[in-house]
Amino acid sequence: MRLYHNPRCSKSRQAVAILTESGVDFEEYRYLELGIAEEDLEILSSLTGIIRTNEDEFKSDKFDINDIKLVKESLKNKPKLLQRPVLIKSGKAVIGRPPDDIKSII
């Protein structure tokens, strides 16, 4: 399991707490430092609401958030646009907004 995590985000910290308290083994993946893992781009880009449209990086270069190719390219080049937290497990992914939503795949 991989959790796309930003430690400065309260929702993301709550997701880490949920996973830790559940006793599951997971990778705390700090995407702002590491970028988006190539192997996760496909599943992430298919999630509705994966782009943070309130970020300046989106506002300055708006694109069609329904175009998976553009979403994938944007996530790869501007990881800050990734909605967080996101948990990926066994080919499934869920955005943790609210954080309890991640329980659906653990």
Verify whether residue 9 is a known catalytic residue. Answer: yes
Rounded to a whole number of angstroms, the CA Rg of the chain reads 13
Task: Give CA angle at 81 (77, 27), nearest 5°.
Answer: 90
Check residue 30 and report its DSSP letter: -
> Which of 2, 3, 4, 9 is labelled catalytic?
9
Q: Which of 10, 15, 9, 8 is nearest to 104 (CA)?
A: 15
Which positions are catalytic? 9
